[in-house]
Amino acid sequence: MAEKNQYSHKHYTYVKDEKEADAVAWAFLNKDEMVKFPHKFEELPEDQIRVNITHTGLCHSDVLTARSLWGPANYPIVPGHEIIGTVSRVGKAVKNLKVGDRVGYGPFRDCCEQCRHCEAGRTNLCVGVPADEKGIYAAYWGGYTTSTQHPARLAFKIPEALPSDKAPPLLCAGVTVHAPLARYAKPGDRVAVLGIGGLGHLAVMYAHKFGCRVTAFSSSAGKEKLIKELGADEVVSSTDPEVLKKHASSYDVIINTLSTNDNKVFGLYLNMTDGQGTFVQVGAPPISESFSLLAFQLIAKNIAFVGSMVGSVKETKDMLDFSARHNILPMCEHFEFEDFPKAFDTLENGRPKFRCVVNVENYAKKHNLHKN
């Protein structure tokens, strides 16, 4: 069998000259090689839109996917599922969007709208669309590019109050923590946020605005003042076992953004949940890593241990509206399109404060790539 050409893809046609391209992406040809990838799109399906991307956020999920740490990736692959841009083309069946609208995409690109989950409003759990077509950057490509093309049904109109250079992380990190807080927390609840990074700093802000008493657990010394400015009532160590023991049975809701596989430490985290409380796991480790649950910990205190996967269409819209109303925006480091590899390295090997966002628009305009 002939070896697959590293520039061949089912849905995107590589072209050598950027002047002939519909878009220029930063693509991974394999788990180690990231290159510019000028390409042409397929003919626009009637239910899809094309979006000129202005800003793209980077998420640690991009690293896990691009490096094949969540299973073998379908190379070449273009990561990125925190996307904001302007509609440039509209399929003939699309009625709710028009050219010029500012929209965003999160981790999901499609849903069937007909399965039992979609009918119940749980579009993020859709089982009617194949997995590789449901998520952005599986069979199709994500936001590390100047333009993208996806079904219109999961494009979100961005409220005017949310600036494009800061809002992209809300479409993944924001809804990932806002949705479970909206489901399980109520005003006056004692909420613990484990890990004050890209997810956790947003969770602190949301929980504070929900009217909860918020305790932030951080491993970074020197962050206390900043974290309290975000809305935390208390900041404590997330790594000191003796401190964790003192907080046993102290919280109605715990949001765990960490992906630790240290069973002893994880047991201490879980034990901080009060009786009849809820422990929410949102941190997602590589598939090779895991932790163990002691059933007795759950049984003895009637603890609900739940996972939460991003959010539904409604939950995402609610998060965007809530963020706009309360002026909740992530703290971001900013990069230019030419510096995508640097931004990716900062995400993977550095300590960004707290999210990375790339300005795509400057490069696209300079090279005449944003066309209607």
Question: Looking at residues 193-206, what average pLDDT do you find?
Answer: 96
pLDDT > 80? residue 173:
yes
Residues 6+ apart with CB under 8 A from 112: 118, 126, 127, 128, 129
Domain ranges of the chain: 13-172+312-366, 173-307
pTM: 0.95
| Spatial separation of the C-alpha atoms in residues 33 and 49, rounded to whole Å | 29
The structure tokens listed for 285 are 């480790």
Main-chain phi, psi angles of 248, to 5 degrees? -60, 140
| Spatial separation of the C-alpha atoms in residues 259 and 325, rounded to whole Å | 31
Question: Looking at residues 192-208, what average pLDDT do you find?
Answer: 97
Q: Which of 39-48, 88-97, 130-139, 189-198 has the lowest mean pLDDT?
A: 130-139
**What is the predicted pLDDT for the residue at 4?**
63
pLDDT band for position 351 (cuts 50, 70, 90): confident
| Spatial separation of the C-alpha atoms in residues 116 and 120, rounded to whole Å | 6
Question: Looking at residues 129-154, what average pLDDT do you find?
Answer: 94
Question: Looking at residues 117-140, what average pLDDT do you find?
Answer: 94
pLDDT tens string 325-335: 999 999 999 99
Place of tokens 């609900």: 304
**Superfamily (CATH) of domain 173-307:** NAD(P)-binding Rossmann-like Domain (3.40.50.720)
Question: Looking at residues 219-230, what average pLDDT do you find?
Answer: 90
**What is the predicted pLDDT for the residue at 2?**
42
pLDDT tens string 256-281: 999 877 888 999 999 999 999 999 99
CB 115 within 8 A of CB 312: no
Question: Looking at residues 109-115, what average pLDDT do you find?
Answer: 96
Class of domain 13-172+312-366: alpha beta
Q: Mean pLDDT score of the chain, rounded to an integer?
A: 94
**What is the predicted pLDDT for the residue at 1?**
37
| Spatial separation of the C-alpha atoms in residues 75 and 138, rounded to whole Å | 9
